[in-house]
């Protein structure tokens, strides 16, 4: 009976240790607890740049998000759409994971349905129901960081979709389910 009690105690202690380990913040989680989150975006098609804090004191900053939405607009139709704030969190986490702050180059942000259809007619790599049309995706580069390294760091975050397009020199991120291609 004593050994059974000791085994149970060890089991429960082990579970407690696992629970404590699970509650410890990973680098990605720790960076989301930062009191201020800032990004620098550069739209390569329009030349527009913005550097702003989009999160302070536990809240998103509406004016900054509106400015980010404008920079990530569909440059072909000039249509601005609300971008999912979780995408900005994802970008912040990615930079933190890479240990590199600085410019995020935007290849594609929001796409209107018309733009997406046009691009789809020219390329098999454009999804019919693209997250770009929902304001939940970005195609990007980080100057000075190898594309494969960006992809690997994004996959390690396990917070959304990650697409790797070395031939076109960009990585796709979205706030959809965790997956990669």
pLDDT tens digit string along 26-84? Answer: 444 446 788 899 999 999 999 999 999 999 999 999 999 999 999 999 999 999 999 99
User: For the residues 105-114, what does the mean pLDDT come to?
Assistant: 97
Distances (CA, A) of 87 to 94, 100, 156: 10, 17, 16
Whole-number pLDDT of residue 1: 54
User: Residue ranges of the domains in the chain?
Assistant: 1-25, 34-180
- CATH tag, 34-180: 3.30.1380.10
How many CA within 13 A on the CB side of residue 52? 17
> Percent of the chain scored above 70 by pLDDT?
83
Mean model confidence pLDDT for the chain: 87
- Check: CB of residue 121 under 8 Å from CB of residue 137: no
Q: Nearest 10 degrees: CA dihedral of 76, 79, 85, 90?
A: 0
Whole-number pLDDT of residue 124: 77
- Check: CB of residue 125 under 8 Å from CB of residue 116: no
Chain position carrying tokens 């939940």: 136
The model carries a pTM of 0.81
- DSSP at 79: B
């Amino acid at each position: 009976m004593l050994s059974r009690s000791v085994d149970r105690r060890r089991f429960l202690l082990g579970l407690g240790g696992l629970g404590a380990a699970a509650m410890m913040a990973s680098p990605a989680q720790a960076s989301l607890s930062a009191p201020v989150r800032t990004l620098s975006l550069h739209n390569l098609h329009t030349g527009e740049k913005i550097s702003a804090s989009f999160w302070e004191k536990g809240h998103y900053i509406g004016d900054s998000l509106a400015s980010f939405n404008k920079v990530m607009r569909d440059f072909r139709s000039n249509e601005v759409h609300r971008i999912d704030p979780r995408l900005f969190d994802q970008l912040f986490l990615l930079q933190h994971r890479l240990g590199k702050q600085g410019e995020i180059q935007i290849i594609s942000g929001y796409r209107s349905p018309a733009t997406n259809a046009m691009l789809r007619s020219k390329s098999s790599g454009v999804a019919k129901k693209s997250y770009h049309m929902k304001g939940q995706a970005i195609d990007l580069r980080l100057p000075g960081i190898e594309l494969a390294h960006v992809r690997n760091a994004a996959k390690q975050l396990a917070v959304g979709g990650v697409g790797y397009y070395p031939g076109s020199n960009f990585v796709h991120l979205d706030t959809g389910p965790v997956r990669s291609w």
